[in-house]
Structure 1
Amino acid sequence: MSKPDNNHTSGGGQLIPITNMGEGSQAAQAVLGRDLHEFLEVGASYRHWFPRMVAYGFEEGVDYVVKNDRSASPAGMPSRPRLNHVVSLDMAKEIAMIQRSAKGRQARRYFIEVEKRARMAPAFDPSQLTRSEILLIALNAEEERLALEAANKQLQPKADAYDYFIDSTGSYSMGTVAKMLGIGQNTLFRELRNRGILITKGDMRNTPYQRYANYFEVKAGGYTRSNGTQVVTHTTRVRPRGIDFIRRTLGLHGAHPMLPMTFQ
């Protein structure tokens, strides 16, 4: 499991402090979960909110690692551990969009800018963002918020409908995803089989190969035939991150604008 590196965890010019997840050349930019939670102004407490975010399909050791902080205590008393997490920027961007708020869109723009700077200059320190640059990011986010607010008045009923079809573990049925993408369900299954993403034959037909398992969720079920034979079934559902993966894989550039993970 990756270990958090606390270099660059503070900086006067940062909208949200940036840290590292991992070590050496494998280190990746990240943020602390509590910093993100505070910036997004989430109403729920952190210990209840973060597990709900993880349920959207994120994996410990891949998208985030646990990091226990020390909370402040009265004078003379030992500090107590406080649950926190180091969250990859990819996960942080997805969480920001899940909030569907101005703060979420502002955070996402900031993370994209941090990543862009890192690609352009590998030695770039995110703490060097100037106040003017941060204000520009905030201004752009506000302009985007106003545009999205107008669009959402028309799109929100469909967005609410998609939320209705997401289950308690945070995944969508293949039929719902097909509707989001503007294609038929049978076509979706066929194209994913043709591209070697879903298994083509046998008892596990239409379930994902292991290397694509992080984009999907497979639920086992079963029923009893009239002759008493027990039949095991497997139902493939799509995690939120899998929707954009499917869209890109199939080259569906005209997909519905309310797709959860197409805001890249």
Structure 2
Amino acid sequence: MTHFNIKTFTGSLQNQTVQLINARDLHSLLKVKRDFSTWIKDRISDYGFILNEDFSPVLGKSEGFFGRPSKDYHITLDMAKELCMLERSELGQQARRYFIQMEKAARQLAQQQLVIPTFLHQGQMSPLPQNQIAIDKDRYIALLESENSLLKSNHGKPLHPRKGQRLDEAEKSEIKRLYAQGMTKAAIARQINRSESAVGVVLKK
């Protein structure tokens, strides 16, 4: 199968967030022999594609140094698939299957829900079982970056947890605070330089 490299981007049609592509890029990918302007206008007219539902016209790059901007079209993936079929070529069929795979991957990504162990969610008890809450992806990434920063702050050297010393009240409070923010037991143990088992004892109480 031919390797396709066509840029998709997030746009809005009828106040709905959708994935779009530039029709001019598709025209180039399909190696259509007719010029772009004639091709896209004929396809829209002949097959009833709907303005602001299937596509949106936009100004493109200027043609020449003093030329007028070209007219581009941002189209949905569904419209792109139909345009591929209309070409009735092997390249068009391959491109259509490519867009189907892109949509499938996008749906799978949207369905993924990140969960982390904690016992609070915006100051309220979590309704999820097993002491878990759902958080948005950006929040989860921020927590991972926080853990990574802790490791870097130790200059790559392994941490050696303090042993034989009882946890004081300040350390216990810090453990609970960090756990409420979504940090794992292992990350908390690294941050306060204590064993993970000691952290676990505090959280069981």
Q: Give the structure with higher Rg (CA).
A: 2
TM-score by length of 2: 0.48
Report which structure shows greater RCO (CA 8 Å, sep ≥6).
1
TM-score, normalised relative to structure 1: 0.38
